[in-house]
Amino acid sequence: MIEAIRECLGQEMEADSRVVVIGEDVGVLGGVFRATDGLQARFGKERVVDMPLAEGVIVGSGIGLAMSGLRPVIELQFLGFGHQAFHQIGQQVARLRYRSQGRHALPLVIRSPFGGGVRTPELHSDAFEAFYTHTPGLKVVAPATAYDAKGLLAAAMESDDPVLYLEPLKGYRLTKDEVPDERYTVPLGKLRVARAGAAVTLIAWSAAVNVAERAAEELSEQGISVEVLDLRSLNPLDIDGIAESVAKTGRVAILHEAPLTGGFGGELVATIQQECFYSLEAPIIRISAPDTPYPLGGVEDLYIPDVDRVVAEVADLAKASA
Amino acid sequence: MSESRFLPNFEAIAPFSRLTDSGILDSGESPMSDEAVLEALRYMMLTRVFDDKATSMQRQGRFGTFSSVRGQEASVVGAASTLDPTKDWIVPQYREFPALIRHGYPIENFALYFMGNPKGGTIPPNVNMLPMQISLAAQIPQATGLAWGLKMQGGDGVVITFFGDGASSEGDFHESLNLAGIMKAPVIFFLQNNGWAISTPRENQTAARSFAERAIGYGVEGVMVDGNDLLAVHEVTAQAVAKARAGGGPTLIESVTYRTGAHNTADDPTRYIDQQELEKWQQKDPVERIKNYLRSRGIWNENLEQELLDSCAAQIDVAMEIARDTPLATSDALFDHVYAEPPQRMLDQKRDWANRNSDAQ
């Protein structure tokens, strides 16, 4: 997946000289995960900039760069450090168009790895997507495959709206699938049916999609047919795509790495019960982390929902009735 | 043209130092007794032994990602050696192992933390420190408030907070210096300028010639010290501590040193570091320098060195064994210590998690 992101950045920079990449350690090092490896050598220090260690000014100056006519792609080294920039993202990035009543477009992409499962040091691994989906004006995408990583990033960079582009820490390097060499886009706001099924709709995004697919495989051996939806984009949300699946299955499980309370799963439950109430045959379930802080690496496997847990809870759901 | 209306261009300053690169003291008195230097050297060697052990365990998958102190031992120990652990506080970043151990944080807890066991975070009751800080610069405002609060309550304890050249680019650093200056908070801002924030060189953090001179803009005293010179770091920090204790307010100390190791065990500095510059700094190794000083005093030899190494290795081995023998945390470790009075909803989850894990066994 890293290679797909890097290839996309290179192609976009090649095609459009207004694209600049800024962030911590993105230049000589090529980013701590190497997403920008080689870009500074290709495009120069003016366009691939090692910034001072200050997320607030990285994002805030990104707004200014965009106002000047450039198209900045910002790398936040970890979403856990997004808080230092939250006043710029939440109050400023997301609202500039509205506050200027359409005068200022903000073609800005903020890329950031998030989520856990790779034994990072403390405070690096939280799945904070719900803070940002609760931020009107900001689009939020979270690809699960290398193909989507490339296509969604291209679409995000093409968009005149600011986009938070979330990259799964787990699977960053492991996720490998076919990626075309040429440029393409994957539209924002269209989910992907990762696996077709008939009995239960299992909704996930980012790293959790892989867990969902493996659980679905095990469940199929128990005779339970699970449809896995990879949302790809949390805002805009593909409500029609979800409704189509729920109309078929009548049972819904939502899987996310973030804590339960206030997680994006709650928003999905509310939307689904409103849009698909008469299709539902059982209460919607959420499979998530507990309502506790992200722990140290030694116990993170107990925190993040794993395949066994998804299998058990979805098997129960398949038997449940309203 | 009349005179410039702009402020004068400040003269560049050289870091304050007491020892030459080869460990010879200048003509003045040493700020530390021989006993104090020997004790400091022990912490420096202990750090080196720990760092080597932890790095090799990390390579074998028995230790998590962690940052060694290599190259900065005199900087950290020189600063810590001025503190009174019974009343002074340390508000650390994560590269201050010997300061924390001297203050009373158990080595095994430090190890457990980096092994990913939440129990490692446990700070014993009378140890005056905040948890290690991973989110850069977040500790600096906290140190400022802590010092301000101690002063408000009439105590004479002081606070030292550690951070690096990179963290000093964050707003938290600037906001803290400003507030500490206004409140005359008894806090020492100990900035370790080790040349690097992961791969980003010091030049990319500020156009100022020194970090110390930033203090001027906040009405705070700033000083630049040779961070590889134990005696100089101790002397400057002791002065700042005495000033803070006497009600004289904060000091910004820029300790000029060099990270001769990697940022952490996940980093590969060969991708960006200038080999010649690294070698230049390796020649200024702070441990060798203070050993040379002790040799010049006639109180250091190979036998003493071997004894010290053996004793440090034994101490680290004991701590690592305790850490290794500490049981892995159960799912309760996710829930314990989150609240003083846990919400029922979380307690229900705690029960569910415990049941699920016992089912799985």
Cα A246 to Cα A179: distance, rounded to the nearest angstrom = 30
Q: Residue B10: its pLDDT value, please? A: 67
Cα B237 to Cα A145: distance, rounded to the nearest angstrom = 53
| Cα of A106 to nearest chain B Cα, Å | 24
Which residue's entry shows tokens 């829930």?
Answer: B335
Q: Which residues of B touch A169 (CB under 8 A)?
A: none
Q: Residue B80: its pLDDT value, please? A: 98
With CB atoms and an 8 Å threshold, state whether A84 touches B266: no
Q: Which residues of B touch A298 (CB under 8 A)?
A: 64, 115-118, 328-329
Q: Residue B361: its pLDDT value, please? A: 54
Is residue B85's pLDDT more than 90?
yes
Interface of B with A in 140-169 (CB under 8 A): 166-167, 169
Is residue B8's pLDDT more than 80?
no
Cβ–Cβ < 8 Å for B136, B166: yes
Closest listed residue to residue A211, CA positions, set A128, A299, A287 = A287
Structure tokens at A9: 């950045």
Q: What is the DSSP string of B228-270?
A: T-HHHHHHHHHHHHHHHHTT---EEEEEE----S-SSTT--GG
B328 CB near a chain A CB, below 8 Å?
yes
A309 CB near a chain B CB, below 8 Å?
yes
With CB atoms and an 8 Å threshold, state whether A121 touches B134: yes
Question: Helices B230-245 and B34-59 meet at what angle, rounded to 10?
Answer: 110
Q: Residue A172: its pLDDT value, please? A: 87
Q: Which residues of A touch B94 (CB under 8 A)?
A: 121
Q: Which residues of B touch A32 (CB under 8 A)?
A: 198, 266-267
With CB atoms and an 8 Å threshold, state whether B349 touches A260: yes
Pick B199's closest partner by Cβ from A25, A81, A312. Answer: A25
Q: What is the DSSP string of B41-101?
A: HHHHHHHHHHHHHHHHHHHTTSS------TT-HHHHHHHHTT--TTT-EEE--SS-HHHHH
> What mean pLDDT is predicted for residues B234-251?
98
pLDDT > 70 fraction of chain B, expressed in percent and rounded: 98
Higher pLDDT, B212 or B10: B212
Q: Residue B6: its pLDDT value, please? A: 77
CA angle B89, B263, B255 (to 5 degrees): 50
Q: Residue B347: its pLDDT value, please? A: 97
Pick A291's closest partner by Cβ from B206, B329, B345. Answer: B345
Q: Residue A320: its pLDDT value, please? A: 86
> What mean pLDDT is predicted for residues B155-169?
97
Best of A291, A303, A309 to disrupt the B interface by mutation (most B CBs within 10 Å)? A291
Any idea where the domains of chain B sit in the sequence? 34-329, 331-361
Question: How, if at all, do strands A163-168 and A109-114 pair?
Answer: parallel
A27 CB near a chain B CB, below 8 Å?
yes
Q: Residue A322: its pLDDT value, please? A: 63
Question: Residues of chain A whose pLDDT is less than 50?
Answer: none
When the pLDDT of each residue in chain B is averaged and rounded to a whole number, the result is: 95
B355 CB near a chain A CB, below 8 Å?
no
Backbone dihedral angles phi then psi of residue B187, each to the nearest 5 degrees: -130, 140
Residue type, A188: L
**pTM (two decimals):** 0.93
Q: Residue B360: its pLDDT value, please? A: 60
Q: Residue A74: its pLDDT value, please? A: 98
DSSP character for A3?
H
Q: Which residues of A touch B113 (CB under 8 A)?
A: 296
Closest listed residue to residue A47, CA positions, set A69, A22, A24 = A22
Pick B171's closest partner by Cβ from A54, A261, A292. Answer: A54
Cα A130 to Cα B141: distance, rounded to the nearest angstrom = 27
B346 CB near a chain A CB, below 8 Å?
yes
Q: What is the DSSP string of A239-294?
A: HHHHHHHHHHH--EEEEEEEESTT-HHHHHHHHHHHHSGGG-SS--EEEEE-SS--
With CB atoms and an 8 Å threshold, state whether A308 touches B357: no
Domains of chain A: 2-168 (3.40.50.970), 192-319 (3.40.50.920)
Closest listed residue to residue A117, CA positions, set B266, B116, B95 = B116
Q: Which residues of B touch A302 (CB under 8 A)?
A: 330-331, 333-334, 353, 357
Is residue B262's pLDDT more than 60?
yes
Which residue's entry shows tokens 């030459």?
Answer: B20
Q: Domain B34-329 carries which CATH code?
A: 3.40.50.970
CA angle B250, B68, B40 (to 5 degrees): 60
